[in-house]
Amino acid sequence: MRVLLTAGPTREPLDPVRFLSNRSSGRMGYALARALLAEGHQVVLVTGPTALRPPAKAKVVPVETAEDMLAACRRHWSDCDAVVGVAAVADYRPARHSGDKLKRTEGQGLSLELVPNPDILATLAKDKGGRLAVGFALESGDGKVEALRKLRAKNLDFVVLNGPEAQGAEQASLRVFDAIGKERHLGPARKPTLAKQLVRWIFGRIPA
Ligand code: C5P
């Protein structure tokens, strides 16, 4: 299979030196890319900025913003058989991007206007036909209801639920739900181990 995989955070610029982003390290996405390659799949890794070395055998497409990530994914989606959305896409971006560095005005606050970013996975999965779409849901608390809502809302085949403690961590626990409500627990384990188990569970019966 040829798998389109999004990973890492996005960066939403405010001015030439500042951006809005999040704590995603990209570890889970890169571990999944490695696990897919090890099983003989091809991987197009569309990745936000991370400190990680990408797997040598992946086709790597580096991006910064959510809009760049969507454009890059659209270019590659027609050649792919599956999409796995692991990226922590910023939900909002600044409404305006200043070409000059914003100046501080002594004693005055600053309000930022934010506008919503596109939902990359939902956009791709809408027209997936028979292709496979897998998403992640990061929820605090139980999260099952919200994960299943996202599975339906984004037209996914599988949703992988994890907690906020997984962000940036070496280890995690996951719950995987499929479209008929079957659930599987994985971990706690290091992300490379979890990635192998996930790939085996989700792509196991599909030939590379
Ligand atoms: O809605 P939420 O951000 O929790 O959804 C998580 C899933 O959707 C992840 O797989 C994430 O990569 C994907 N997503 C996306 N584009 C967005 C927001 C989320 O692809 N703008």
Report CA(90)–ligand 1 centroid distance (Å): 9
pLDDT at 205 over 70: no
pLDDT at 142 over 90: no
Helices (H), the chain: 27-38, 66-77, 120-126, 144-153, 191-203
Kindly state whether residue 72 falls inside one of the protein's structural domains: yes
Q: Say whether 117 is catalytic.
A: no
Q: What is the pLDDT of residues 114-141, one digit of tens each?
A: 999 999 999 999 999 999 999 999 888 7
Pocket, ligand 1, Cβ cutoff 6 A: 6, 66, 85-87, 89, 117, 119-121, 135-137, 150
CA 119, CA 66: separation in Å to the nearest integer? 9
Kindly state whether residue 179 falls inside one of the protein's structural domains: yes
Kindly state whether residue 184 falls inside one of the protein's structural domains: yes
Kindly state whether residue 59 falls inside one of the protein's structural domains: yes
Residue 136 sits in a domain whose CATH number is 3.40.50.10300
Global pTM value? 0.94
Kindly state whether residue 163 falls inside one of the protein's structural domains: yes
Report CA(85)–ligand 1 centroid distance (Å): 7
Range of the domain at 172: 2-94+115-203
Kindly state whether residue 160 falls inside one of the protein's structural domains: yes
Number of domains in the chain: 1
Report CA(103)–ligand 1 centroid distance (Å): 33
Q: Supply the mean pLDDT for the chain.
A: 94
Residues 6+ apart with CB under 8 A from 106: none
Kindly state whether residue 102 falls inside one of the protein's structural domains: no
Kindly state whether residue 107 falls inside one of the protein's structural domains: no
